[in-house]
Amino acid sequence: MAIDAALRAALRPFERRALTVAFVTALSVSLLVVALISELGWLVGVRNGLALVALIAVAVVGSGIFAVSRRPAPLTLARVIDERAHLSDLVVSAIGCEGDGMAAAVRRSAIAALRQEPAAAAFPHGMPRHWRRWVLAAAVVQVAAVPLAVRAPATRAPQPDLSSLTLPTANGQANSTAKTGQPETPASSPTPLTSNGPSAPGSIEPPRATSLSGKLTQTNDGVSINGNAIDRLRLAAANAGVEMAAGRVPLARRAIVERYFAAIQTERKRPR
């Protein structure tokens, strides 16, 4: 259908406005999806700023492509304008009219009306269609993410280097652990908290009973300790450290464990 050039020029601001509204609406939905994906990724330990930037860029480009693909045809545009501006099918009639006489008068009337009507009034920004579904979906994802947050495995997060930590002995010297079942002997090298030296993340070492010192004894359940508060702090950290190595500490307690290890390292550095 050939449209009069002047009429097409009068429709152009409305066309641009419709594209803008479609782009903004699509972008709002896309950014919501990006936010949900980022949140899920953070919960499971995927924290990559570059990935977030890439997702946002995809959302912007995708919204632009979506808006252009949904570009309304001139007749569809005319119907919307007629309805929202209460023009009584004037623009629709002008698009369908060809020739002179009455048809030219219709086109002139339509062009005059379009120039008086602000494009923003015909295409206001509003909520996306089916916005309730999007809100519901976001809420469902939030609810579904709660157990995920609680059960996320600790091995996916950076862990402190347990092999560099040692259990101090009663005389303040670092104690070394023997291999399985062997009695404790004074050693110059630090005793790693894990029973058999540094373990790979996620691996589970079978605990063994090893006598480390008069105060510390490594048992099947971890490390037992007699003594003051500091020793109890070490004991808790050591126990937690063993559990972390075995991948049994939930995410929420990981921060507590890290603080324990930090306290141990601080104590190690303190001059005796």
Partner 1 sequence: MTSPETVEARAAAFRATFQHVTEQVRVAFVGHHALVEQALIAFFCGGHTLIEGAPGLGKTLLVRTIAQSLRLSYSRVQCTPDLLPGDVTGTNILTDGPQGTRSFSFHKGPIFANVVLADEINRATPRTQSAFLEAMQEHQVTVFGTSHEIAAPFAVFATENPIEMEGTYPLPEAQLDRFFFKLLMPSPTTDELAEIIARTTGTTAVQPAPQVDASTVASMMALIREVPVADDVLRLALRLVRATHPDADEAPLRIRQYGRYGASPRAAQALILGAKAHALLKQRYHVAKDDIRAVAPAALRHRVLVNFQAEMEHVTADSLVADVLASVEAH
Per CB under 8 A, residues contacting partner 1 are 79, 88-90, 92-97, 100-106, 108-109
As measured in angstroms, the least distance from the Cβ of 104 to partner 1 is: 5
Which one, 82 or 184, has the nearer CB to partner 1?
82
Q: Which amino acid is at 6?
A: A
Residue whose tokens read 């404790």:
184
Cβ-based neighbour number of residue 174 at 10 Å: 17
Q: Report the C-alpha gap between 51 and 48 in whole angstroms.
A: 5
Buried/exposed 61-95: b ≥16 CB within 10 Å, e otherwise:
eebeebbeeeebebeebbbbbbeebebeebbbbbb
In the Cβ-directed half-sphere of 144, how many Cα atoms lie within 13 Å?
10
Complex with partner 1: residue 37 or 103, whichever CB lies closer: 103
Q: How far is the CB of 107 from partner 1 (least distance, A)?
A: 8
3-state secondary structure of 258: helix
Which of residues 87 and 235 has its CB atom nearest to partner 1 in the complex? 87
At closest approach, how far in Å is the CB of 106 from partner 1? Answer: 5
- Min dist. Cβ of residue 45 to partner 1 (A): 53
| Least distance to partner 1, CB of residue 3, Å | 13
Report the alpha-carbon distance of residue 211 to residue 98 in Å, rounded.
101
- How many Å apart are CA 199 and CA 203, to the nearest integer? 7
Please identify, using beta-carbon distances, which residue of 84 and 248 lies nearer to partner 1.
Answer: 84
Q: How far is the C-alpha of 150 from the C-alpha of 252, rounded, in Å? A: 7
Phi, psi of 120 (to 5 degrees): -65, -30
CB of 113 to partner 1, least distance (A): 11
Output the smallest distance, CB 82 to partner 1, in A.
9
Question: Exposed, middle or buried: residue 22 (CB in 10 Å: 0-12, 13-18, 19+)?
Answer: buried
Min dist CB 35 to partner 1, Å, is 39
CA 207/CA 225 separation, integer angstroms = 16
Is 186 within 8 Å of 200 (Cβ atoms)? no
